[in-house]
Chain A
């Protein structure tokens, strides 16, 4: 399995507080992604990164920001959490080289965030 960890794994917070989720990889993959998954739905892309300090928006980016200061870490920040951001957040990585790594995304175990 690809070495992808997410922290924290569970978090409960209150509306209006800032929250930062961390994704850490040991695979030296170029691409990193943040998705959210809500009950009964597939995953939706929030933001992604195609290199250190290079990021772009996904389909549900409002209310979220990201940063990637080194290859291994991709941070997702909710500047002021709202109840609508209660969700399970998944990080994923993918390589750029040819072969399977280019096509495949590897997913972390997820972070369950509850905003009260």
Chain B
């Protein structure tokens, strides 16, 4: 599976935007970019995914570089509830099993 690189941690102030970078320089044409987050003492939850175009949903926005070698997850107004570990994952839609390979993620701290 293609690998991703994320900063270990980031801090943000409440109600300010958070930009979480992810590098995936070896991404292939069949890789989707997925983001999941894991709140303390919970299982991961889906945030957003995309292939080539930028994507928005109620939780976040995903900005994908034109060459697809990097992407940025944007939390528009961080709340205390957004404090979590955020995982950037590449999923090959041609691979069997619809599997996800988790890396270390970015731990986001939101300060009041």
Q: Which of A12-20, A69-77, A79-87, A98-106 participates in binding chain B?
A: A98-106
Tell me the bound Cα distance from A33 to B100 in angstroms: 10
CB <8 Å contact, B96 and A56: yes
Q: Which of B9-17, B43-51, B60-68, B72-80 participates in binding chain A?
A: B43-51
Known interface pairs A48-B99, A94-B98, A103-B32; A41-B46 also in contact (CB < 8 Å) = no
Q: Which residues of B contact A58 (CB under 8 A)?
A: 99
Q: Which residues of B contact A92 (CB under 8 A)?
A: 43-44
Q: Which residues of B contact A104 (CB under 8 A)?
A: 46, 49
Residue of chain B at shortest CB distance from A96: B98
Contact size class for A?
20 to 34
* Contact partner, B34, options A35, A42, A48, A103, Cβ 8 Å: A103
CB <8 Å contact, A103 and B100: no
Known interface pairs A41-B104, A42-B104; A50-B46 also in contact (CB < 8 Å) = no
Residue of chain A at shortest CB distance from B57: A100
B101 within 8 A of partner (CB):
yes
CB <8 Å contact, B44 and A90: yes
Tell me the bound Cα distance from A44 to B46 in angstroms: 16
Q: Which residues of A contact B104 (CB under 8 A)?
A: 40-42
Q: Which residues of B contact A107 (CB under 8 A)?
A: 43-45
A45 within 8 A of partner (CB):
yes
With A41-B104, A105-B46, A110-B41 already in contact, 4 other A-B pairs whose C-beta atoms are closer than 8 Å = A31-B97, A43-B44, A105-B98, A108-B43
B residues with CB within 8 A of A = 32, 34, 36, 41-46, 49, 87, 91, 96-105
A residues with CB within 8 A of B = 31, 33, 35, 40-45, 48, 50, 56, 58-59, 90, 92, 94, 96, 102-110
23 contacting pairs across A/B (C-beta < 8 A): A31-B98, A40-B104, A41-B104, A42-B105, A43-B100, A43-B102, A44-B102, A45-B99, A48-B97, A50-B96, A50-B97, A56-B96, A56-B97, A59-B101, A90-B43, A92-B43, A103-B46, A103-B49, A105-B36, A105-B44, A106-B46, A109-B42, A110-B43
